[in-house]
Amino acid sequence: MDRISELPQEISQRILYFLSQEDAVRTSVLSKLWRNIWCTRPNLDFSDNNFKGKKHEFISLVNNTLQRYRDQKLCIEEFGLYVSLDDSDRKSILLLEKWIRTLKSMGMHPKEVRLQKVYIEDENFRIIIASCPSVETLFVRSCEGLRNIDANNLVHLKEFCFSPYKMPSAEEELCSIEINPPSLKSIEITYGNLRFERGVDFCNLSELHLTRAELSWDNLSSCKFPSLERLIIVGRLRSKEINLFVDAPKIANFAYSGDFIPSISFATTTSRELISVIGLTMHPNGAPSSWLHKLKELLDSLSQSKVSLCISISREYQMNEDIIQENINLIQENCCDKYFVVERLSLSCHLSSYSSLLNGVFSIFRPRKISLFGLNWKTVWKILMQRESGEQGDQCRKFWERDLEEVSMEIIEKNREGWHSINLSELLNHREIGSSIRFTLKWSNGAISSLSFR
């Protein structure tokens, strides 16, 4: 007896619901009655990956299937569509509008819209968005033609992501983005002009990721983020400065990377300790003479954080020891001997600047772990031991003499477990090139830093 053919159609359709499109088609060979049941399954999933060079066949398949479902008044619970369109397919975006209108007429509102590598103009985008009032996920990536995005009416929107077709030039206008729905949980914008309204309460937003975006920092500072846990800001040269106050009592992770030192402060956090990752690239156009003092102010504003700091000095930036010393004097005049603790410090610059840079940053904070790029352990040892020499005229050397109490070395060898002490003469005669070396720096205030080479 053919028990499969005796199943009610609604049960057969529910079985097909849990199969992929290809597997559902294969069920047509089970029996005569099942030959066409796959054509009535409540979930449709179309992809042009299997229609390479046959775009018209793919379009006809989608058109005919939707028309058949509409004519037969068949139910569609889920509809998935993946289609790639390039610049030569500008008219094809009209098909997308047509398909969305058809779905809407059948009582279905798409909850996820992802546009990638599509040429789409503002008017077409507005029509699509207006046809998807229930959309929860909106991704616009590498799309050409868009100049304005207004998503304020998408009251169910939870995730929004935007990136342009290409990296814009310094003079090129960025796509304007207005997005304020309180339902939002995640915003990620790259090279966009973000237009936040003043005083908006983003009550559900948990992640905000801004990469080289333009916006009014004052407007952002006036907004409330009671659920924000993760904030990532990557600065850009077009912006002169960032002055930001973040009202986010649940903030847990903050990351900043840019060509200038921002002014950022947070409201008192109440939930957990803030972890901050700061990356700074100093160059002639973006490094003010008071950059060390600005760095001190930034770290003071992150006093509730566990901070990891990476500083990279461009080759074009000539570090002036007199300016560094002026910054140090200014810092020491306005604070006591209390030093900020940085979890990890990474430094990258040309050899001639390392001594001045170390002197400057160590006047602000004490790092637990240090990574120096472009230096071998012998050069680092020489820099650290400058305080031991009797040479005069090096203003930076005054700091080493005053505050660095002791430098010791340890090593890990292949045949021994753990770190053990080693002196300079032993290290110079050491034959295991692949060994790991660690310097331990002991400061006069009791702080300890470690610097490892592997």
CA angle 396, 399, 302 (to 5 degrees): 105
**Could you give the CA distance from residue 102 to residue 423 in angstroms, rounded to a whole number?**
79
Q: Give the least confident one: 60-64, 92-96, 270-274, 318-322.
A: 318-322
Say if residue 29 is exposed, middle or buried (CB neighbours under 10 Å; 0-12, 13-18, 19+). Answer: exposed
What is the per-residue pLDDT across 86-110, written as a single tens digit (0 to 9) for each?
Answer: 555 566 677 788 888 888 888 777 8
pTM attached to this predicted model: 0.80
Rounded mean pLDDT of the chain?
80
**Could you give the CA distance from residue 63 to residue 453 in angstroms, rounded to a whole number?**
63
325 three-class SS: helix
pLDDT band at 392 (very low <50, low <70, confident <90, very high): very low
pLDDT value of residue 187: 97
Q: Between β-strands 340-348 and 263-266, what pairing exists: parallel, antiparallel or unpaired?
A: unpaired
pLDDT value of residue 206: 97
**Could you give the CA distance from residue 178 to residue 219 in angstroms, rounded to a whole number?**
13
| φ/ψ (deg, to 5) at 420 | -145, 155
Where does residue 142 fall: left (phi above 0), alpha (psi -120 to 50 degrees), or beta otherwise?
Answer: left
**Could you give the CA distance from residue 305 to residue 340 in angstroms, rounded to a whole number?**
10
What is the per-residue pLDDT across 313-356, written as a single tens digit (0 to 9) for each?
Answer: 877 666 666 667 677 776 666 665 567 889 999 988 877 777 77
% the chain with pLDDT above 70: 77
What is the per-residue pLDDT across 179-219, written as a single tens digit (0 to 9) for each?
Answer: 999 999 999 999 999 998 899 999 999 999 999 998 889 99
Q: How far is CA 255 from CA 126, 180, 278, in A?
A: 33, 23, 6
pLDDT tops 50 at residue 274: yes
Do the beta carbons of residue 161 and residue 139 sit within 8 Å? yes
Q: Between β-strands 230-234 and 192-194, what pairing exists: parallel, antiparallel or unpaired?
A: unpaired
What is the per-residue pLDDT across 393-429, written as a single tens digit (0 to 9) for each?
Answer: 454 445 555 677 788 888 887 777 778 888 877 777 7
**Could you give the CA distance from residue 423 to residue 249 in angstroms, rounded to a whole number?**
49
pLDDT value of residue 290: 76
**Structure tokens of 261?**
């030192």
**Structure tokens of 56?**
């018209």
pLDDT value of residue 417: 78
% the chain with pLDDT above 90: 24
Q: Give the least confident one: 63-72, 195-204, 442-451.
A: 442-451
* Amino acid of residue 367: P
Mean pLDDT of 29-51: 71
Do the beta carbons of residue 162 and residue 168 sit within 8 Å? no
Mean pLDDT of 1-11: 66
pLDDT value of residue 225: 95
